[in-house]
Chain A
Amino acid sequence: MMPLGLTTWFRRRMFALVAAASVASAAAPPVAYHLQKRNELVALARSDAERVGAVVASVAEQRPRLWAYDVTKISERLTAEGLSRLAAFTVRDGRGGAVMSEVRAEGGLLWGRREAWLGGKLVAVVWVGVETRAMWVGTLLITLGSTLVAALIGAVLYLLPVRAIARAERRVAGLMGQLALTLQEEERGRIARDLHDGAGQALTAARLHLLALRRAAPEHAERLGPIVVHLDEALDEVRRSTAVLMPPALVELGLRGALVRHCEAVAQATGLEVSFEAPDPMPAVAAHVETACYRVVQEALTNVARHAGAKRAWVSVSLDRLPPRDGLEGEPALRFEVRDDGRGLASGAPRGSGLESIAERARLLGGEASFADAGPGLRVRVTVPLTERSP
């Protein structure tokens, strides 16, 4: 079956798209949270700086010359205003000289700055620091959560369409294979008919004319004899080719009858003892399915005759079910089994082309093939659905 490559093509593009979308959607919540929290902390820092500045301005108003040295008074007033637990703050006078500074936090800080004015003159500049640890912890937790959610959603968005495409691709490929099989068998049948109706008829007519000529001119019988023999050989070849292309027994006797005749022909030609067992009547299947099943048994017996070194072979046909698929119960199926008592498959040896073609036919029909050690010999088992389905 020719691979379409659609699944691979789609998977690559879908992965890139889903990955980009997942990362973008995962990053959005932590970025939004972080920005918002950062703004809140800066606003809080500036608000506290405003309040500290008001305290400093008040003290400066009471002691305009020496307020920058009255740290005790400022501390007392800050405590009274509920500002004694700031993570960090720094007060500078109007010229940038140090007044007081306290840092109680060990981690990172975000700073807010405010100026304190008194009578149109810059009295002090205040910085207040707020801890950022809680913000980072929150950002991390939201990141972990959002990436997990994005990963789960991304996995679903990726797997669902990719699997659907893969299923569709298999169906299309199977249908194409079935179509190829059908066309192949139809073409064979057409060629067989053309051979039979065209070359076969012409050769038969020529033979008849030659026989009539030999009777009419017995003095030429010796020269005409070999021509008739060659014509007979050609006719036999046409019949053999026609039979290979389109087994006449299938048309005349149906699948069961054709298999019985083929088993007898193989037994006669090879000396194998061939047993056959099948339900009577056999369930009806489509014409190309019949042909494919006939060819499976034909190929399997050819394999036994050429490679197995067996004395006996058993051919059986029975009703079975395929394994469940896509959540549905297994379909009714026909099981064809060819077993021999020969040398079996060598351990680790690759399957030959005959067994490979059996496996391929089974797959194109939507069925299964297995090749197992029969102890002694090989068991070839092919199961095909009674109704057509894609591989």
Chain B
Amino acid sequence: MTTTSRTTAESSVAESGASARRGGDRARGYWIAGWLVVLAVVLYFLPDILPAAQLPVAHQTLLAIPSAIALTLVMGVAGQVSLATSAMLAAGAFCVGLMTEHLSSVGLLTNMVIAAAVGFALGMIVGLPSVRIRGMYLLLATLAFQSIMTFVTQRVQSSTIGPQGYAVPAPKIPFTDFVISSTRAWYFTLLIYAALVVVVCAVIVRSNIGRAWRATRRDELTATSLGVNVRAAKLSAFAISSALIAMTGALAAYYQSVVTYDAFTLPVAIQYVAMIIVGGLGSIAGATLGAILLTILPYVLTTIVHAITPNTAIVFNLELIIYGIAIIFFLRVAPGGLIGLVQRLGRLVDRAWQWSRRTGRQ
């Protein structure tokens, strides 16, 4: 490599550019921090702003976010396909159910860690086909896994406790005696959990593992030639995301206080895929946005359609139809999801701003 010496003019231009960039970055940093503070304040006061009957909706949204983010790690960042989300949620929930049955002294945190470990192991298994097959075939393999998990959980449940499912008592905050039972307490518990998952996933995405995943998604052959262990990347993507999903399933089991196998169906898995597609594949913000929107959607629809017709059957089916259309629409029209649209809007605004500045200066 040859070293070049810069002239004074060049270096000062470079310097000013760099300092402008640094200044620009700092300004952006303040901007983002400001919005985060606003968000934190809103989230803190949300239980007081929302009517009490709506809080469960917030709970479900907060429960959906971590799984959606985990799924986007596998599908968006690492470029794989997975319909195994529901199966992993079931795995985590059944961990809690079985532990509560047989070892009820085990607390929330331990059960969640166990669920994560189980999810990790199962994720490795589900990830195995991904090493050899791709695309549609991988989708089918994960689909098959879902069917098998349904069968296994159903057998386990009917041979141990029967159709009413496992009853899960309200959990205590780890290392304290505070029982999480009120809607307010659950709100903050789920909020903190979701926030932790967001942070952890953001760190993972920016780490070497995340880079390996992105390289695998782009082009496996090139990634391999650059020294990326593609097989490890795929397996780790499935394992880590499944661990997160199973952990979330465990927490959800505590929230629902009952674990039954029939809550974990294929449509649930498809819904999570829909969430990350609508929100924007590959970004944590996209997954969060998609999770929020698609969890709230049925309630919004119910309110709207109820105003037109009180027929609950039609309401449900209309939701189904709109859900399906949303999936099709976003995959077709806006592959970057809502976040992609927002980014495009942001670029448009940016360009308009710069144009106005330039014309203003003249």
Partners in one complex: no
User: Hey, which bits of chain B sit against chain A, CB under 8 A?
Assistant: none
